A and B are shown apart, each in its own frame.
Chain A
């Protein structure tokens, strides 16, 4: 099981207010990068460091990273049967508030907040009573991830293929949700296969990740070029 190097050199600086897109072929390490940053312990970090607002991110447990403002939008949001969707979200928000020394949000205020955010995400009120991702369609799960993000208002949101499996209408809604969070104090990292998402969420930087390395970085035009020419030319460029 162990012993396979996945990420071999990722040098990336994401500043507040920026949106970065990480693209790359299947198996290039995009999702691994997202999971490692979020604190999944199935992966061992053998080398390197990650600083988050000046703190050593790797020294923090997953829940501490979350409370510090790091959010991962999962590629495959897991179902937790019987656990109410809203209850989980309220617990998450309160965990974060508690860590920040703020009082817990009360039930009424929370309901008002979540209803407002649900409106942005064009979600029906039935989400209030359903279990976490229980019986959700692929698109509903992704909307739910963005809803959670809007409620938790992270400093850094890493969205792992939040666009996959969405039809064009859902893609617009999800993009709108992400864009509503864009401001000078927050940053977003989009992991995606498709240029299409970047029509709606326009990134400041685009990076190509392949074989566990960032091979090329550029601005939005790089994504358009990738769409036209595929990844091969980037890989070839790197061959010494």
Chain B
């Protein structure tokens, strides 16, 4: 049945569709990193002193750190002096004030990507903050959100307009020196998104950020900070693409979520960075630190990710469950084909009483890819009555890929309940033949089987993005019906 395996491979090996480059003038710093570069970034963004100090502290700390080697990934050493740390599309005069002022070429790029930035955004009811290389280009729906009291803007705007919120919360979940890549990000981050939802407010629309790396040799270091005040709720989605380039590009983002009493944050990611070609040349190194803190009682943070891109993915969206009765969730589909490497999972740190967490991780491996689930469930002595449920499933396509599961558990409270289920299966020849015998083509059959495998995760995504996620796996929406 080797021809069928090839069908499967052909299907997952579809050409990367976002690999174009936009020819646009950009304002970049030369490659390299030292304190002057850090200061220059801060200066370009007219930042207050506290932020410059914070960056410099992070940078000095970073210099004392070593790149981590524990992840189950392999790559040539990164030359941090050969990276451009700041690249901005050159605008006629400073930043655009409205969509009309945005460079039409940029808008065309987004249109090509299928991002609902303009009219489509209105139809979809999604507010988009688009980050192009290093700077946030436009934030839609600012007004409507403003009426609800929701602040949704680029990180730079937030630094200018709400410095007190930034100063209070920046680094409160992911400290500047948390890990090698977080420290690097803290030193050089150039933009990102900021969300503040005031007490009792339910954010009236889905918020969304679209990241794109365009310039060559550019690293993208964005920073996202989302704060849901008491009783607030918000759903946020990020999507990512990059052009095809032979050299690897670094993406080291930091995302911090803060949920106060009774607050809810739902954070969804559809990550489709360029994965490199079928021989493993090029592609994005996606080394990302994402962490949410359920600081208040009854708060809830839910991560959903669909990771299909990047040469290497190294990320563990985590929840620190401090507040009593707080809930952390992690739903993940990670696809790795060709020579992609994914080492992803989550950490659930139970601190408060009766905290609960759910982990559902689905890994799909094809080609020569390595797909790792790595997760930590940590129950501290204070977490009386804590519960965790973990389910990890791996689907293998073909004989040359691999799946690994590294679940770590540290349980320091005897009243806690921790459950773990794991399975590894090959995309069944029997399943495939069953579908073929019913007249269904191999391509449709694989789509169906993969979609079924991922269903529990996809149903966690906001509707319009579930479609995108399904498409990414070349699965039709109908597959999820029922």
Q: Which residues of A contact B (CB under 8 A)?
A: 38-42, 61-63, 65-67, 71-72, 74, 77-78, 80-89, 91-92, 95-96, 99, 128-129, 131-132, 148, 152
Contacts and interface: CB of A to CB of B under 8 A. Distances in A.
A80 B436 contact: no
Contacts of B437: 38-39, 62-63, 65-66, 71-72, 74
B33 to A, nearest CB: 46
Interface in B427-464: 428-431, 433-442, 444, 448-449, 451-456
B419 interface: no
Given A40-B433, A83-B448, A91 B440 contact: yes
B451 to A, nearest CB: 7
Contacts of A72: 437
- Counting chain A CB atoms within 10 Å of each CB, the highest count among B431, B440, B456 belongs to B440
Contacts, number: 91
B453 A77 contact: no
Nearest to A133: B434
Contacts of B448: 80, 83, 87-88, 91
Contacts of B449: 80, 83
B434 A87 contact: no
B444 to A, nearest CB: 6
B434 A99 contact: no
Interface stretch (B249-257, B302-310, B474-482): B474-482
Interface in B1-28: 1, 3-4
Contact of A78 (B1, B3, B430, B455): B430
Contacts of A80: 431, 434-435, 448-449, 452
A42 B1 contact: yes
Given A77-B434, A78-B431, A92-B439, A83 B1 contact: no
A119 B188 CA distance: 66
11 contacts: A41-B4, A62-B437, A63-B439, A82-B451, A82-B456, A87-B478, A87-B479, A91-B440, A92-B439, A95-B444, A152-B438
Contact of A82 (B434, B435, B442, B455): B455
A172 B456 CA distance: 37
B433 A87 contact: no
Contacts of B430: 78
A61 B436 contact: yes
B452 A82 contact: yes
Nearest to B4: A41
Given A78-B430, A78-B431, A91-B448, A84 B438 contact: no
Contacts of A74: 434, 437
Contacts of A152: 438-439
Contacts of A78: 428, 430-431, 434
A95 B440 contact: yes
- Counting chain A CB atoms within 10 Å of each CB, the highest count among B431, B434, B444, B456 belongs to B434
A128 B453 CA distance: 19
A106 to B, nearest CB: 12
B440 A88 contact: yes
- Counting chain B CB atoms within 10 Å of each CB, the highest count among A71, A87, A152 belongs to A87
B440 A131 contact: no
A87 B480 CA distance: 9
Nearest to B455: A82
Contacts of B4: 41
A88 B453 contact: no
Q: Which A-B residue pairs are the 3 nearest by beta carbons?
A: A82-B452, A84-B482, A83-B452
Contact of B482 (A40, A61, A66, A129): A129
Contacts of B456: 82
A170 B481 CA distance: 29
Contacts of B479: 83, 87
Contacts of A77: 434
A38 B4 CA distance: 15
Contact of B438 (A42, A61, A86, A92): A92
Contact of A88 (B1, B3, B438, B455): B438
Contact of B433 (A62, A71, A81, A91): A62
A110 to B, nearest CB: 11
Contacts of A148: 438
A67 B453 contact: no
B436 A66 contact: yes
A163 B440 CA distance: 26
Nearest to A131: B452
A55 B341 CA distance: 47
A176 B462 CA distance: 45
Given A82-B455, A83-B448, A41 B440 contact: no
Nearest to A38: B437
B332 to A, nearest CB: 15
B140 to A, nearest CB: 34
A96 B452 contact: no
A67 to B, nearest CB: 4
B304 to A, nearest CB: 16
Given A63-B436, A78-B431, A91 B451 contact: no
B474 to A, nearest CB: 15
Interface string B213-246: 0000000000000000000000000000000000
Contacts of A92: 435, 438-440
A132 B479 CA distance: 12
A189 B437 CA distance: 16
Nearest to B393: A81
A91 B443 CA distance: 12
A118 to B, nearest CB: 15
B252 to A, nearest CB: 34
B3 A82 contact: no
A89 B455 CA distance: 18
A63 B452 contact: no
Nearest to A80: B431
A83 B428 CA distance: 14
A183 to B, nearest CB: 21
B459 to A, nearest CB: 10
A128 B482 contact: yes
Nearest to B3: A41
A103 to B, nearest CB: 16
A39 B456 CA distance: 33
Nearest to A63: B436
A10 B438 CA distance: 25
A201 to B, nearest CB: 21
